[in-house]
Chains A and B, each alone.
Chain A
């Protein structure tokens, strides 16, 4: 019987892997725009899993997560674009970006992690805004970030002479830029999933869970809660930094607009709506919330025209309205998220009685 389950799960993983491999080609049938949407969905999965370490594992409410993403993105943009005339290779920039984001996380976290939940939330939110405001204004008197115009012509990801922009032919298969980035992002995601899983079931992961459950008791058994929270915060920040770097390279353009509070909120919503702390749930949340607005973008206009013969309301606001309603409804009917871990669902059912 155990063998059977092993076979079934192996078969499942294989099927999933094949699906993931062919997905960019299926998406490409609808145009490269869809492959790009897919890329962003995977990038958000990566970001959400990074934030999951902070929120889901350590139980710290971080509303400024996107600031670390911004640090990574701007690091890449400044070190690999004509802005300063620097074109450093990926294995230099990505560690620097992750390192700077990590340092930013430690700098913010060390004085503030002792704050209780909601205070920490507003402090991180404030930090996110501060970072964004600086990026918006650091174009004078010395032009560092180029202000609201942002930085353009950023180098793509490249390993030696292999560039991720433009179309390349591999084994007779023409791969477009977005398709190549897709595989890169999938590889990164597999990595972050493995890290998440292994951490969750380790000494560190157990300690995080203990802190989440009862901080006083955790201290009493000798857990250094401050350091462990800082660890989660710094790890989350580093992942944010890596994601930011890849975002920068993929877009070829960054501006402060991409790092507004709503982005932080979006990533947090992915984690919570999917099922906090539960890795498959977080992945589901990230995929849904990144694809849904895009799908609505393509769907809302035509459906209106089909139903009423003309556009009744602005499709852009209608799509965001539907998105907001979806958040409300999911939380109403699945308060622990769409796909919570079995334990969490049980907790909730018991609490509800």
Chain B
């Protein structure tokens, strides 16, 4: 069995009286595709937000890559190697597709104000490398021909791809996708699946939230189900699919 990359222990989060997450513990192993599913409002996105530092959990915590994840500042999560996309796509709309991916390189590069002002050799080399890598990533997600277009003018499917490219630019160990297939048709979903598998085979671990149960069951190595903020089950798809509690949660019985 490969080693654990991310471990959540007893994560809790409440908003006022609403308990969005109750004592959620799960572990994601290096190199797997891990699905997080559950009905609407089950706490999936809240879990993402706690993990990536947008929310501070009220209880419990995360261990990532062998060290505790002090995710009190979101940028630190990215630095540690966790990249994410958003359910409702958050691109930098008035920047070009290429620039969006270049932004993703920020955390792995270091040119500062003085370098920029004096245009030092190191800064120029770094800038060229940033651009080069961004172009490669646009190729990788197959939207290289849209490099110069403003992100907001891209089609929905291309925006999803761009968001993934931007996340990949941060060189993540763990890529978290929040409902990447939402709003996609069958062809686009198939292409997305291919993309996700490709990313995994390059060595990146993937965690994703999805509604499309067929996609999750077909793609994931393991699946966790959340309901009312609590973990129902964490296992391989074949087991999860047959679990009585999961069926009830989805049918609302």
Contacts and interface: CB of A to CB of B under 8 A. Distances in A.
Query: Do A and B touch each other in the complex, judged by CB within 8 A?
Result: yes
B166 A202 contact: no
A221 B170 contact: yes
Interface in B67-100: 73-75, 77-79, 83-84, 86, 90-95, 99
Given A210-B92, A213-B93, A204 B75 contact: no
B93 A223 contact: no
B113 A223 contact: no
Interface residues of B, number: 42
Interface string A201-224: 011111101100110111111111
B111 A204 contact: yes
A286 interface: no
A231 interface: yes
A206 B111 CA distance: 12
B243 interface: no
Interface of A: 194-195, 198-199, 202-207, 209-210, 213-214, 216-226, 231, 235, 343, 347
Contacts of A225: 75
Contact of B103 (A198, A202, A210, A235): A210
Interface of B: 52-54, 73-75, 77-79, 83-84, 86, 90-95, 99, 102-107, 109, 111-113, 115-117, 119, 123, 126-127, 130, 150, 166-167, 169-170
A219 B94 contact: no
A221 B130 CA distance: 15
Contacts of B93: 213-214
Nearest to A211: B92
A222 B75 contact: yes
Contacts of A218: 92, 103
Nearest to B99: A206
Contacts of B77: 220, 222
Given A203-B116, A210-B95, A220-B52, 17 more contacts: A195-B117, A204-B112, A204-B113, A206-B103, A206-B106, A209-B92, A210-B103, A213-B94, A218-B92, A219-B74, A220-B74, A221-B83, A221-B107, A221-B170, A222-B106, A225-B75, A226-B73
Given A198-B117, A219-B75, A222-B79, A209 B91 contact: no
29 contacts: A194-B117, A198-B116, A198-B117, A198-B119, A202-B111, A203-B116, A203-B130, A204-B111, A204-B113, A209-B99, A210-B103, A213-B92, A213-B93, A213-B95, A214-B91, A214-B93, A217-B86, A217-B90, A218-B92, A219-B53, A219-B54, A219-B73, A219-B75, A220-B78, A220-B83, A220-B86, A221-B83, A223-B106, A235-B113
A203 B127 contact: yes
A173 B119 CA distance: 37
Contact of A209 (B53, B95, B170): B95
A221 B166 contact: yes
Among A198, A226, A235, the one with the most B-chain Cβ atoms within 10 Å of its Cβ is A198
Contacts of A194: 117
Contacts of B104: 221
B86 to A, nearest CB: 7
A203 B75 contact: no
Report the 10 A-B pairs with minimum CB-CB distance, sorted nearest first: A222-B78, A222-B107, A202-B116, A219-B74, A217-B90, A213-B92, A203-B111, A224-B75, A222-B75, A210-B103
A305 B104 CA distance: 63
B172 to A, nearest CB: 10
A202 B99 contact: no
A206 to B, nearest CB: 6
A311 to B, nearest CB: 50
Given A210-B92, A222-B170, A343-B94, A203 B126 contact: yes
B106 A221 contact: yes
A346 to B, nearest CB: 8
Contacts of A204: 111-113, 116
B187 to A, nearest CB: 27
A343 B93 CA distance: 11
Nearest to B91: A217
Contacts of B79: 222
A343 B151 CA distance: 12
Nearest to A350: B152
A223 B103 contact: yes
Contacts of B166: 221
A109 B203 CA distance: 41
Contacts of A203: 105-106, 109, 111, 116, 126-127, 130
B27 to A, nearest CB: 23
A221 B101 CA distance: 10
A201 B109 CA distance: 15
